């Protein structure tokens, strides 16, 4: 399964927790107060190849 996903993702790897955590920190901060109704996809570009 890991190879299947990695072969199809633009980055060719799974993301690291720090990469996902950065979005969580941003969303929890006052800087994101104007973001509404947004879907943030962190998938290494996997959806680009679907």
> pLDDT tens digits for the chain (50 residues)?
888 877 888 888 888 889 899 999 999 999 999 999 889 988 888 888 76
Q: Which residue has the tokens 């107060």?
A: 33
Contacts 24+ apart (CB under 8 A), 13-18: 13/44, 14/44, 15/42, 15/44
CB 43 within 8 A of CB 49: no
For the chain, give the percent of residues with pLDDT over 70: 98
Please indicate, yes or no, whether the overall pTM of this predicted structure exceeds 0.75.
no
CA atoms of 10 and 42, how far apart (whole Å) = 12
């Amino acid at each position: 399964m890991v190879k299947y996903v990695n072969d199809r993702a633009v980055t060719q790897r799974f993301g690291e927790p720090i990469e996902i955590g950065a979005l969580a920190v941003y969303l929890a901060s006052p800087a994101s107060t104007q973001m509404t109704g947004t879907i943030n996809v962190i998938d290494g570009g996997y959806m680009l190849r679907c």
